Amino acid sequence: MNKTADKVTTSRLIEMKQKGLRITSLTAYDAPTARLLNEAGVDVVLVGDSVANVKLGYENTLPVTLDEMLHHVRAVRRGNSRALLVADMPYLSYELDSREACRNAGRLVKEGGAEAVKIEGGIEVAPVVKELLRVNIPVMGHLGLTPQAVHKLGGYKVRGRKPQEAEKMLTDAKILEGAGVFAIVLECVPAELAAEITRKVSVPTIGIGAGSACDGQILVVDDLLGLTDNPPPKFVRRYANLRDEALRAARQYVQDVQEGAFPAPEHAYRQPIEAKTKN
């Protein structure tokens, strides 16, 4: 049980939308990052399946398995306190049959400590959302650019520019709301469409590359911290350049060891100790 008094819950997020309070969300894949994000006051921590490409070296999110997700969810759970902990359901762990979806989501909750799960898609996953709720697992939706559909979509592109696509996304958002999701991620969606969806659904929208009118924002934490070696997507704002700093430190270490500057020569730390014992 979380001891934090102001623990973020799914109903708290809906209340925040009603009060016009913006929701903050970031991904995390390990315990120290989860601790750091909680200390910073982040409302929702997502163990994204982006762990596949951000941390595990896969090309995209498709290969990551439920067991790999579980490993990271457990780690994040150990570092999490106040934030709502949401776990992504990996590709093919929920689409085929609702019972299997419940079993898999159940593992993320029961063994991993997740407090909610996120699944990608609209009308086609609405029955799964209902089944998950039947076994008491809150669900976050995900529309727009859904990375698990990268091959069908033909790449990582903005979704909803064409009127038909925009119309379908709005309908999907309403269907997800009706099925009972507590929030919807809108990824790479034109700002005006994201604003319209945000106005027309009662649950919060969490945008990533979807403009400023969403009820909240989410980013991949490694993008925000500047930890990635590839340039981040255009919509990302980098708040730090930790990769450059880490590279500088690692190079300095290599140089110091090679030149005998680390560890410090014996007399550098013996002298003060000897001096201290004389006094």
Q: Which residues of this protein are in contact with ligand KIV, per CB under 6 A?
A: 27, 46, 48-50, 88, 185, 187, 208, 218, 220
Which residue among the candidates 187, 192, 196, 266 is catalytic per the annotation? Answer: 187
Nearer to ligand KIV, 208 or 224 (CB): 208
Q: Using the minimum distance from each CB to ligand KIV, give the nearer residue, 59 or 259.
A: 59
Give the separation between CA 12 and CA 17, rounded to whole angstroms. 9
Give the sign of the dihedral formed by CA 37, CA 42, CA 46, CA 50.
negative
Least Å distance, CB 146 to ligand KIV, is 9
**Measured distance between the N- and C-terminal CA atoms of the chain, rounded to whole angstroms:** 52
Dist. CA 32–CA 173, nearest whole Å:
34
Distance CA 96, CA 124 (A): 10
Active site annotation includes 111: no
Of 48 and 113, CB closest to ligand KIV: 48
Which of residues 141 and 190 has its CB atom nearest to ligand KIV in the complex? 141
Maximal C-alpha separation, the chain? 84
Q: How far is the CB of 131 from ligand KIV (least distance, A)?
A: 21
Shortest CB 57 distance to ligand KIV, Å: 15
Task: Compute the least distance from the CB of residue 40 to ligand KIV, in Å.
Answer: 18
- The whole-angstrom separation of Cα 214 and Cα 20 is 10
Nearest CA among 87, 76, 81, 105 for reference residue 8: 81
Catalytic residues, by residue number, are: 187
